[in-house]
Amino acid sequence: MDSTEDLDYPQIIFQYSNGFLVSKVMFTACELGVFDLLLESGQPLSLDVIAARLGTSIIGMERLLDACVGLKLLAVELRRDGAFYRNTEISNIYLTKSSPKSQYHIMMYYSNTVYLCWHYLTDAVREGRNQYERAFGISSEDLFRAMYRSEEEMLKFLAGQNSIWSICGRDVLTAFDLSPFTQIYDLGGGGGALAQECVFLYPNCTVTIYDLPKVVQVAKERLVPPEERRIAFHEGDFFKDSIPEADLYILSKILHDWDDEKCGQLLAEVYKACRPGGGVLLVESLLSGDRSGPVETQLYSLNMLVQTEGKERTAAEYSKLLGAAGFRDIRVRRTGKLYDAVLGRK
């Protein structure tokens, strides 16, 4: 018997075509403050109260809340005086701004920036390049000038990346024992969440965040606690400026932004700067060897097409890039989560 006979193809296509609607429901509820309001209230609230406090129409809010119930983001209790809504556990943990594991900022970045680029996915596939010019009317010749086109946009991006590392950082930093490496450079370390997790896990290390000057300033002033003395900063562009000597270099979600040529150029400079016995840790979402999945990584690779100059790669492809730069004893650890780790030694 053909195993596909049990599949409900119309239902699968229906679910796929409505994926956009599902994510927009979640993004809109986050943006309006639905989950934050319900957390702060400490008790279920009625439709009228929620709509009044958030300044929305009753008819629109009712449909939004009911969709969130259907998505298991809210629970509803029907009383004599109407429907009362409360957060589910997943919303309290991941969708409220105050939670340590909040994904609010990355949701807002996807809703207000990524989706605008994805509107031009057809053009990106035809042309093989990112879509900043169509989406925002700006040149992407300098990729990160386009991505950081305003301080507000840069802060959204950095806060969004920090939210990812709040739930994924520990997995990638403990994939290998990094305790032998005491002086670490986090290249493109952005908002500093991964650096903070690293010094927490490995108290004997120091981490220097190496990033563009305006990124470093924002990280210093708004994202990294000033009392954290084990984190330092280095302003520069690692494609143009020298890379200081260190025991370990962390490149988290860096190589997927660039083509193989630029990746090779950067890794060669990292290898030259690396102390003998040191290494480089790549943190990326790895495609399977036969490129059949994971589907999240395949979608990320399309996102790299519409937003960057790069792509997601297999473990073998990253290993080849590392080997070409001179690194040896290359090991791969799949975490079972969104991001994986690859370690190369000098």
| Residues with a known catalytic role | 256
CA 33 from centroid of its chain's CA atoms: 21
Say how many C-beta atoms besides its own lie within 10 A of residue 132's C-beta.
Answer: 24
- Count how many Cα atoms sit within 13 Å of the Cα of residue 266 in the half-sphere of its side chain: 22
| 158 close to 215: Cβ distance less than 8 angstroms | yes
Q: Which residues contact 172 (CB under 8 A, 6 or more apart)?
A: 194, 252, 281, 283, 335, 339, 340, 341
Compute the distance between CA of residue 324 and CA of residue 166 in angstroms, rounded to an integer: 32
Compute the distance between CA of residue 237 and CA of residue 164 in angstroms, rounded to an integer: 23
Compute the distance between CA of residue 260 and CA of residue 310 in angstroms, rounded to an integer: 8
| 173 close to 194: Cβ distance less than 8 angstroms | yes
Compute the distance between CA of residue 245 and CA of residue 150 in angstroms, rounded to an integer: 32
Relative to beta strand 74-79, strand 82-87 is: antiparallel
For the record, the structure tokens of 50 come out as 């929620």
Compute the distance between CA of residue 268 and CA of residue 119 in angstroms, rounded to an integer: 36
| 193 close to 221: Cβ distance less than 8 angstroms | no
For the record, the structure tokens of 196 come out as 């903070």
Say how many C-beta atoms besides its own lie within 10 A of residue 149's C-beta.
Answer: 16
| 325 close to 268: Cβ distance less than 8 angstroms | yes
For the record, the structure tokens of 288 come out as 């399977």
- Specify the 3-state DSSP secondary structure of 291: coil
| 90 close to 72: Cβ distance less than 8 angstroms | yes
